[in-house]
Structure 1
Amino acid sequence: MSTAPLTDPAVLAARRAALSAPHMAPLAEFAAALRRATGLPVPDADPADGGVRARLLLLLETPGPSIDRSSLVSRDNPTPTGGNLRRFLAASGLAREEVLIWNAIPFVIHAPGARNRAPRRAEQARGLALLPPLLDLLPRLAVAVLAGRAAAAAAPVLAAARPGLPVLRMPHPSPTYVCTSPEVPRRIAAVLAEAAALLRGGRSAAA
């Protein structure tokens, strides 16, 4: 797909309206509570994905500076990272209804107009403290994929909240990382294939 779906105002309006759907309403309420508690922008999860019915949590790092275009954490955002996510997830065979995409630091850390930057330690700690209440909304969760260094820091939180949950780590799908080496896209594809195998109840792709 050459054009990101959320560049279409009608598609974006339909996604925003779907935040009240049963699979999304608890997550929309959660994001709204975070906005009130932090006083910061917190984008919503994408209603085109699995919502509270998701079996796979794909945890990215932070909302990018351009997130206000859609206010959704989505593979369909008109960004280079969104384009890579669409490509890798489509190739993995993971069904959209199985996946929830979220951020380890769910609130925007960038000043208006500023470029993307790595989260500070205090921001990372604050974001990870907000992860357990999200997990409480995901009763079917069967595997988590942590994308990037900041997301990888969520592993102990996931282990404490969901003992025994398979947790996989992969590079972040940002072009900043994907373009550094052919090994990076291969690693991303392999981890997502392993996650898909786990959901099917098959053997790990890394086995």
Structure 2
Amino acid sequence: MTTAPPGDPAAAPVLADASTAALPGDATAAPLLNDPVELLRRHDALQRPAMQPLLRFAARIRRETGQPVPEADPADGGTAARLLLLLETPGPSIRGTGFVSRDNPTPTGRNLRRFLTEAGIPREDVLIWNAVPWVIHAPGARNRPPRPAEIRAGQNWLPPLLALLPRLAVAVLSGRVAGLSAEVLRDARPALPVLLMPHPSPTITCTSPAVPARIAAALAEAAALLHLPGRSAA
């Protein structure tokens, strides 16, 4: 899962460091998905009731497109989520885990874990998904940006995704490709607040100190819209 724009190198700097260990004091941290025992546990957790509609949804996309679609992470909120975090497209490394997850052992995953933890947003409030929900890269190929036709095809699946999320209170679109779906979400659910933020890939966050600040600000605004303790909407 956690997706990255082209050029997300495994050794790129990730904010303070590129370690993929659990963050100290991170109450929402879980083992990373390069742990075979944890990966098996996540697959078992897909049987949770809140995951069943999303399982059927991903299977439908696979069936109708013929494309590989990773599963939503059952360690997050599933259909009970109040925040939809929309990334861009699954990166090539996702073939190793099969999940759209902050716990994928990548620099982007590390950044996403950090930002969500610092925002104080509980995992059970979040669903992480992709604007283009299938893997667009051939096995072994380098990452690349989605083509316009792929973006349009992915957008067709966003309204049925929203229909599975009755508690949804805010959507956060991360990165340029995800941001192109803002109007699709607003048309599908006009009252839904839609926020934009940069992608958490190290290739983006390391370009300027303003980028992590913008990510943190967007997630803080989302937390306020969720009326989390200690947060208040402006």
Give the TM-score taking structure 2 as reference length: 0.85
User: What are the within-5 Å matches in structure 2 for residues 67-106 of structure 1?
Assistant: 67-106=94-133
Q: RCO higher in 1 or 2 (8 Å CA, sep ≥ 6)?
A: 2
Structure 2 Cα separation of the partners of residues 83 and 49 of structure 1: 16
Query: How far apart are 1:203 and its partner, in Å?
Result: 3.9
Aligned residues: 205
SS at match of 2:199: coil
**Offset from partner CA, 1:118-169 (integer Å, 9 cap, x none):** 1100000000011111111000000000000000011111111101111000
Matches within 5 A, 1:133-144: 133-144=160-171
- Matches of residues 52-201 of structure 1 in structure 2 within 5 Å? 52-200=79-227
Partner-residue secondary structure (3-state), 1:101: strand
| 1:12-31 → structure 2 map (5 Å cutoff) | 12-31=39-58
Letter in 2 for 1:108: V
Supply the AA of the counterpart residue of 1:76. Answer: D
Query: In the alignment, what sits opposite 1:2?
Result: 21
Gaps of 5+ in 2: 1-19, 23-30
Query: What is the Cα deviation at residue 47 of structure 1?
Result: 0.1
1:34 maps to 61
Cα deviation, 1:55-97, whole Å, max 9, x if unaligned, reads 0000000000110111000000011110100110111100000
Give the secondary structure class of the aligned counterpart of 2:84: strand
Distance 2:67 2:125 in 1: 28
Q: Residue 149 of structure 2 aligns to a residue in which SS? A: helix
User: How far, CA to CA, are the matches of 1:179 and 1:74 in structure 2?
Assistant: 21
Consecutive aligned runs of 4 or more in structure 1 exceeding 2 Å deviation: 201-204
**Considering only aligned residues, what root-mean-square deviation do their CA atoms show, in Å?**
1.2
CA distance in 1, matches of 2:57, 2:46: 11
- Match of 1:102, SS? strand
Identity %: 67
Query: Could you say what secondary structure the match of 1:197 adopts?
Result: helix
Greater helix percent: which structure? 1
Question: Offset at 1:188?
Answer: 0.4
Q: CA deviation at 1:54?
A: 0.1
Taking structure 1 as the reference length, what is the TM-score of the superposition? 0.96
Tell me the CA shift for residue 7 of structure 1.
1.2
Separation in structure 1 between the aligned mates of residue 101 and residue 220 of structure 2, nearest angstrom: 20
Q: The residue matched to 1:31 in structure 2 has which SS?
A: helix
